[in-house]
Structure formats: structure tokens, C-alpha cells
Amino acid sequence: MSAPDDGRIERLLIVRLSAMGDVIHALPAAQALREAYPEAMIGWLIEERWAELLCAPGVARRGARSAQRPLVDWVHTVNLKGWRKSLFSLHGLEPIARVWNDVRAADYQIAIDLQGAIRSAVLARWSDAPVVYGTREPRESAAALWYTRQAAVRGKHVIEQGLSVLESLVGRRMAVPAAEFPRDAGAEEGIEHRLREFGIEKFAILNPGAGWGAKRWPAERYGQVARALAKCGLQSVVNYGPGEEDLARAAEAASEGAARPFQCSISELIALTRLARLFVGGDTGPLHLAAALKVPVVAIFGPTDPARNGPYGTRSVVLRNPASMTTHTRNPRTDEAMLGIGVEEVVSSAQAMLAGKTAEDGRG
């Protein structure tokens, strides 16, 4: 189909497949799109593992919006890694065809690639939307070949850059809106029960994990931070995901009983973060979730650039050694310069945040 001649925009598709922090960074742009076109049907194409950022488990992924799916009308999920393994079997082709039939049946007028990768650009084009928006300089330059409209990017932070793609569509500058997350009553009740069970009231979330080793401040130091926070009357919860069990155990051991490890689903992490007084961690999805939920953040950065990827829209302190060189090379070892950030510096920043004495607010 083609876009309507009278300029009415009624069906829009967002493509942002992964990962957790990147999806969260795209939420303000999606919220701005919702505010610009309040009556439009908005869909989102996302990897299955991150769908809980848009829709609570067990809730229909299509239909009237609610607190459990507050932002988009239709969540389309893909499993690209699983699909690659089963491309040459009829059984494997079935889920691919089902998703693609659903996407095309939605009859989207415009698709917006907020990822800037070749795979996301191709999927946006294959949606059959006649107009595909992306940035003029996407992360993978070949992705631009699949766009019919290319937006000039403004701003240093990735949230601002995503919003600028929407501004190209809407035709005006837009303020950065707050992101909305699903509410899952079961997850909220479960988290509240776990906190009561362990006698945890006022608490900080400590997050020793990150996407790759170079971004990880040593787990044992998080345990030392937990000991110091306990002296201030603040308990600590160590959040960890799949494959991060060793990091959680190391932080717990170093805390000498001051920190309690919590492994959470995404919905449970949203519920837990809403209750936290403080977040301490590196450049990773849970940090960006805390910032989006307006939780004060002490961010410990190494090889990634906080001007582009730092906490946004909340009170925050970003600690980064000037000797850290900006790179996205997935080095498995902790950035050497990052080791120069001491426990005392993190604790001091945390205490200042808790006392409300810092003026270093997150941007936005």
C-alpha cells in the first residue's frame, strides 16, 4: 500500500530489536510518537527476550492499551538467533511466516528503524511499509540503503538521536518525554514478598554485570560499597542476570552479609527498581532502566562514552577515569583505567546522592 494522500498517519511500526539498554533508550522516541499521533495504531518489532519492556507477561500483545501494555498497540516479536538455526526446516519456517504475516497484515504506512543495523533496516523494509525512516549515518552504514527517508541526527546522547528521527517525521522539535513501562501485578507482589522475607526496606541496587568484561567494575568492590552503605542505613540488593552468578556471589561474599543477590525477570526488575533509593552500576540495561524510572544513579564508566550512553533524565553522578579510551571493542577484561575508580569515590558519590547534595543531574 502507499501512504495516504491526505497526510493522515494512522499505522506506524517501530523497529528496535535489542538489547535491553538500547530498547530503553528508544522508549522516549516511541512515547513522543504516541503523543504526536495519539490515535494511531503503533506497533513495535522486538526480540522476544526483551518483549517484557513493552508488555507484561501473559497479557495480549495486540489490542487496547493498558497499564500492562501502555505504549504500543501491537508487539511483534522475533527470535533471530533461533531462526537462523532452523531456516532450512518446515518447522523452523512456521514461526517466521507467522510473524511476517502479522506484520504485513497490520498494513503499516511508515516503519521507523531506531537501531541502525543492517538486520533492523531490512526488517523495517520487509514490513511492506512504503516509507522507512532511519538516520543519515546509521551505526552500520549499509543500513541506509534500505531507508526511503534519512533523518539528520542531532544531540550527543543516543536518546536525543533517536528522538531526532521522530522529529524528521513530525516536522518539529520535541521535548524528551518520560518513558512508560508495563506494570505487572504478579511481579510487583513477588518482589514485595521477597523484600519482606529478607527484611529489606530502604535499599540500593548494585549491578556488577555488563554486556562485556571491559565495562565491569570488579564485583568484589560492589560488596565493599554495600558494607559502606549499610553503615548509612541502606541495605543493598545485588541484581544479576543469566551467566552472572559468579559476579553476584563475589559481591555477596565481599559484602560480609550487607548485600543480598536477586535474580529477576525483566518484569520483576522493573518492579524492584521502582522501589529502590539508589542504583550503582556500569553501562548496562539495568542502569538505563533505573534512569528511566527516575532512580538516582551512580554510574561507573570505562570504555563507553557517558555523553552518548550515560544516565539520562535522573539525578546522577558519572565516574570515569580520564585515561579510559572510548571503544566498543568487546574486550573480556576490565578496562585498566576503570580500575582506578576506587571504592571510596563510589561510596562518597552514593552518599552525596542520598543526601541530595549533588548537582550533577542526568540530562533531559
The verdict on 205 and 328 lying in the same domain is yes
Q: pTM, whole model, 2 decimals?
A: 0.94
- What pLDDT does 86 receive? 60
Radius of gyration of the chain (CA): 21
Query: Average pLDDT of 284-308?
Result: 98
The verdict on 136 and 27 lying in the same domain is yes
Residue 67 within any structural domain of the chain: yes
pLDDT exceeds cutoff 90 at 339: yes
To the nearest 10°, report the CA torsion of 77, 80, 86, 89: 50
Residue 302 within any structural domain of the chain: yes
The verdict on 321 and 347 lying in the same domain is yes
Q: How many residues does the chain have?
A: 364
The verdict on 251 and 191 lying in the same domain is yes
State which amino acid sits at residue 8: R
Mean pLDDT of all residues belonging to the chain:
93
Residue 51 within any structural domain of the chain: yes
Q: What is the CATH number of the domain that holds 44?
A: 3.40.50.2000
* Cell reading at 304: 563507553
Range of the domain at 195: 185-355
Residues 124, 134: contact at Cβ < 8 Å? Answer: yes
- What pLDDT does 359 receive? 47
The verdict on 296 and 349 lying in the same domain is yes
The verdict on 143 and 240 lying in the same domain is no
Letter string b/e over residues 204-223, b meaning 16 or more CB atoms within 10 A of that residue's CB: bbbbbbbbbebbbbbbbbbb
The verdict on 199 and 165 lying in the same domain is no
pLDDT exceeds cutoff 50 at 361: no
pLDDT band at 272 (very low <50, low <70, confident <90, very high): very high
To the nearest 10°, report the CA torsion of 95, 97, 103, 105: -130
Residue 362 within any structural domain of the chain: no
Residue 102 within any structural domain of the chain: yes
The Cα 130–Cα 133 span in angstroms is 10
Residue 303 within any structural domain of the chain: yes
The Cα 262–Cα 30 span in angstroms is 30
* Cell reading at 322: 580520564
pLDDT exceeds cutoff 80 at 106: yes
The verdict on 63 and 162 lying in the same domain is yes
- What pLDDT does 194 receive? 98
Which among 42, 256, 265, 15 has a CA at the least distance from the CA of 127? 15
Q: Which residues contact 38 (CB under 8 A, 6 or more apart)?
A: none
Domain count for the chain, please give it: 2
The verdict on 126 and 71 lying in the same domain is yes
Query: pLDDT (tens digit, 9 = 90+) per residue, 38-60?
Result: 999 999 999 999 999 999 999 99
Residue 3 within any structural domain of the chain: no
Min mean pLDDT across 82-96, 108-122, 216-230, 322-336 is at 82-96
Chosen domain end from 146, 170, 194: 170
Chosen domain end from 118, 138, 170: 170
Chosen domain end from 125, 147, 170: 170
Query: Average pLDDT of 311-328?
Result: 96
